[in-house]
Structure 1
C-alpha cells in the first residue's frame, strides 16, 4: 500500500497549498499579535488552512465509493450566508446599531465628504477596466476603496464571486491598516499650516430624539426612491440604527452591537475562506486585485483631502475646514476619525478634531453604502 492510499492528503499536497496554509498562518498572526480585525482575520486565516488541505471535508468532495458529491460545511455556509447576502446584511444591522448619527446633525456639511471620499472607487473601476477586467469585476475591485467590508462582499458576491476571496482579504486588511496608510497620504497633500487649522462647531448642540428616530426612516425612503437596488444595504444599516435610537429595544440594540456583530463576523470570515483555495487564490489576478484595492483606498483618501482644500477656497478665514478631516469620508469607522484626531494632536496638542472627524466618518458610512447601491444599480445597465 503506497503513500497515496495511506495519506491521500499528503500525496495531494502541492506548493500552492503550502503557500495558502502559510497565508492562513499570517492572517492568524496579524489577528492575534497585531490585533488587526481579529474577529474576521482569525476565522478567515483558520478557514484558509481548512480548505487548503487536500480532500478536506470542510469543502464539497466526491465520495470515491459512491461517486456522489458530499457537501462540505463551508460550501453550505457560503450558499446560505454569502450567496443570499444574509451574513453581510446582518452585519449592517450591527453596524447601524453602533452608529450615533448626532455628530452629523451638528456638522451636516461634513456629510459631503462621505461622497467626495468615494472618488477612488470609480477611478479604480476605470483602471481595472483598462487592465482587462470586465465592468462587473472592475466594480467589485473598485468598491474595496470604500473601506467597507460588508459592502465589498455584497458587490463581489453579486458581480464577481470568483474574486470574492482576494477582494474580502484586501478590503478588511486595508480597513485594519488605516493608521499606516492614511497618515503619509495626508501629510503629502497638506501643509503644516493646513494641519493646524482648528475647527469650531456646535459640538454641544442637543439633538432631539424625534430627529434621530426620523433620520433612518427618511434616509431609507429617499434611498429607496433614488436607487432601489441599494435598499437592502441602506435599509438594514438604517434598521439597525432605528433599533438603537427608538429607546424601547435597548437589549436588542446591545445584542446587535456585541453578540450579533461578533458571531456573524466570525461566520463571515470562515465562510469567505471557502473561496481561498490554492486553485483560485495563487494567481496573478490576486496580486493585481490587492494592488488595485490599495490604489482605490489611497485615492479615496486623496479625494476627501482635495475636496476639503477646494471648499476652503470659498470659506472665510476662521471658518475653514482642516483638510485632514476630509480623509475621514471613508467607511472605516471610527478608526479613521481617531487617526485624524491623533494627527491633529501631534501638530497642536490643543486642536481637538475628534467631533468633526467623526461627523465626516459617519458620512463615510452612508456614502460607502450609497456608492455600493449606485454600483449595484448602474453596472448591470452597462455590463
Structure 2
C-alpha cells in the first residue's frame, strides 16, 4: 500500500459493508451547505472568502466562510461546485446508513465508482475516473474556516471536507504493445472509503438523516456552477417564491460583481432555450424541477425570456417548483412570498447559532 498525496491507495477491503447502493434521483445535500457558498465556482479555483448574514428570533449576525488549500506538492486548487457532487453522494449514503443505525454514522463510508456514476447519471470513462481522484484530492486538501458572529460573541472553526480517503482498485491484464496476451497490467479504480469530519457527521445525524434534501437528477447535468448554486438555493426555499437578484448574488457567492452576475445568469438561462416555441406551449425547464421568470419590478408581468434588452436596476427572479416553463408569466409579484436565505431554520440554528452562544466561544463545528 502506498501513499498518494494525502490518500491511502490499496486493494484491501476496510470500508463499511453496506449492500445498499445509491440510486439515480436519491442524492441530496444538507440545507446548511446550500444557503451560502462553500465551494469555488471555478474548476481550478483559488482560495476565497464569502460572507453572508443570518437572522433568527430577532438576533442577527454574519457567517464568514474562508476556503484555502493545504496542498503543497500538487495543484493548490480548492474543492469546486463539481467536486461537491461526490461529497453529496457520501453524505446521502451516510444519512441512509444512519437511519437504520440509531443515527450513528460509520467510521468509513464506501462509495463505488459505479454507484457514483449511476446516482449522478454519468457514463464511466477513463477521464471521469481520473477526475474523481482529483475531486477527492481537492476535497481532502480544502481547509474551511468558519467565523460565526452575532452582536456579542463569535466562534471560529477549522475542518476539511474529508478527513481521510482510501482509493481502492483492482488490476486487469491486457495485451502489451507487442500484442502478447495478458502481459500488461492496468490499474482499475473501483471505490473510495471516506472518513467524514465531525461537522459533516452531525449534518446527517440530526433527525437521523432527515436533514438531507434530495436533488433533481437534472442537477447533475448542469454545466454552469452559478446555475448549480441557484438551484441549491431554490431547492431549500419555499415551493413558490421571489428573490431580488442582489440578494441572490450574495448567497450564490463567487468573484463577480452584481452587474456581471446578473448578465451571466441571464445568459446561462437563455442558452438553455434551444428555440422559441411558435405557439404558447411549455418549454423545457430552465432549472431542473422549477419554472423561472424574470421581473423588472413587483407590479408588472414578467419580462420575455427572449427579449435581449438588458433590464435595468435590481431585477427579480420568480421560482415555482414543478411549474410549467413558458416565455413569460402574466402575473405580478405583489402576492408572492419573498425568500430570505438568511433566515435560518431551527435545524440550522442548532448547528450554527448554538456555537455562537456556547460558553467561552467553544465552537460546535469541529
Would you call these one fold, judging by a TM-score over 0.5? no
Normalization by structure 2: what TM-score? 0.25
Normalization by structure 1: what TM-score? 0.25
Structure with more contact order per residue of length (Cα contacts < 8 Å, sep ≥ 6):
1
More strand per residue: 1 or 2? Answer: 2
